[in-house]
Amino acid sequence: MKTYQLAVMKGDGIGPEIVDECIKVLDRVGARFGFGFAYQSCLMGGCAIDATGVPLPDETVRICKAGDAVLLGAVGGVKWDTLPGHLRPEAGLLGIRAALGLYANLRPAKIFEPLRGASPIREDIIGEGLDIMVVRELTGGIYFGARGRREEGGVPGAYDTESYTVPEIERIARVGFTLAQQRSGRLCSVDKANVLESSRLWRETVNRLAREYPGVALSHMYVDNCAMQLVRNPGQFDVIVTSNLFGDILSDEASMISGSIGMLASASLGDSSNGGGSFGLYEPIHGSAPDIAGQGVANPLATILSGAMLLRYTLGEPAAADAIEAAVNRVLAEKRTPDIWQQGYEKCGTAAMGDAVAAALNG
Ligand code: IPM
Ligand code: MG
């Protein structure tokens, strides 16, 4: 039997609870489809700071590199909020993305039919079968640019730097074009080219590549307009490709259209990440939710669905990925965690939700 090696970073807050449910579901799907998993735990984020003094120990990078893929819960919490920037849990997250070369972040915002009514957006605006793929550049831009404090004109100030090189833009744009080819053929590149020089280079570069993808209908949109269009008419979007900062913001916004940020998965892929078959890190797009940690009420579905993405994009097990997604849809018709609960459904906790998805895999 084939055994896949997974590096697992449970992280902080609700991270351990939700990852446990994903593992439960992965083990069950493996048993059904004839493969297994070996899990190697490692520390990143606040738990790593507590244990080792740094958010990303070398040991963690080593374990992640040795695995077929990485599964991550979430990191961060108030306890570590006052540490200097390079020692915060978030530095661990940015650090592992960089160390593993994971420059392409795929964040699907998809409506789960049973959750239609849970979206804060009116049903007539959502339309039929909403399915947006946000492709966020993940290892460049302002999150990795020079930053610091400095005096300006005798008063205290601070700066961060947005910068992109042509190769960085090309490789993320290619991921966007390739995914668009595999989907409906529409790609929207989002920038702020009316103001930022880095955005003008972004737009020029994307336009140049477009000639290699004649089947893709490319459009450009300013980020402020995109933020507005996402709630005005989300159905116009298929694949969105954008920078690290804009993608961070727009993917949170897009996720909410689907009903709950607790539902959405993500894949962070490295080289050869043209939509399949490459090493990747998989995590829910939500955070560590310290306010509900340890209560057993967190929604594990985004993490479980990240497990499905892992099967699809890195392990090449699409049937198993489909089975998990179908099981989630089946369970949503009956049970809901508090974040997505509505009148008429059974309210359940984290472990019961994981159990239900695992059980539905057999159905
Ligand atoms: C995300 C998060 C992170 C990011 C933070 C925690 C550093 O918001 O994954 O979207 O901005 O990338
Ligand atoms: Mg974010």
**pLDDT tens-place string over residues 328-357:** 999 999 999 999 998 999 999 999 999 999
Which residues fall inside 5 Å of ion ligand 2, going by CB?
Answer: 248
**Active centre residues (catalytic):** 143, 192, 224, 248, 252
pTM as predicted: 0.94
The preferred substitution site among 86, 93, 135 for testing ligand 1, maximizing ligand atoms within 8 Å of CB, is: 93
The answer as to whether 110 is a domain residue is: no
The answer as to whether 303 is a domain residue is: yes
Q: 325 and 340, same structural domain?
A: yes
Domain count, the chain: 2
The preferred substitution site among 12, 90, 94, 143 for testing ligand 1, maximizing ligand atoms within 8 Å of CB, is: 90
Closest ligand 1 atom number to CA of residue 75 = 6
Of 206, 229, 258, at which residue does a domain stop? 258
Of 258, 286, 312, at which residue does a domain stop? 258
The answer as to whether 93 is a domain residue is: yes
Of 223, 258, 293, at which residue does a domain stop? 258
For position 277, what pLDDT does the model report? 60
Q: 97 and 34, same structural domain?
A: yes
Domain that holds residue 315: 1-105+260-363
Dihedral sign computed on CA atoms, order 209, 103, 258, 225: negative
In the structure, what pLDDT confidence band is assigned to residue 276 with cuts at 50, 70 and 90? very low
The answer on pLDDT for 254 being more than 60 is: yes
The answer as to whether 111 is a domain residue is: no
Closest ligand 1 atom number to CA of residue 248 = 10
Q: How far is the CA of 138 from the centre of ligand 1 (A)?
A: 10
The answer as to whether 112 is a domain residue is: no
Q: Which ligand is nearest to the CA of 76?
A: 1
Residue bearing tokens 């404090």:
149
27-55 average pLDDT score: 98
pLDDT (tens digit per residue) in 75-106: 999 999 999 999 999 999 999 999 999 999 99
Q: Which residues line ligand 1 (CB under 6 A)?
A: 90, 93-94, 248
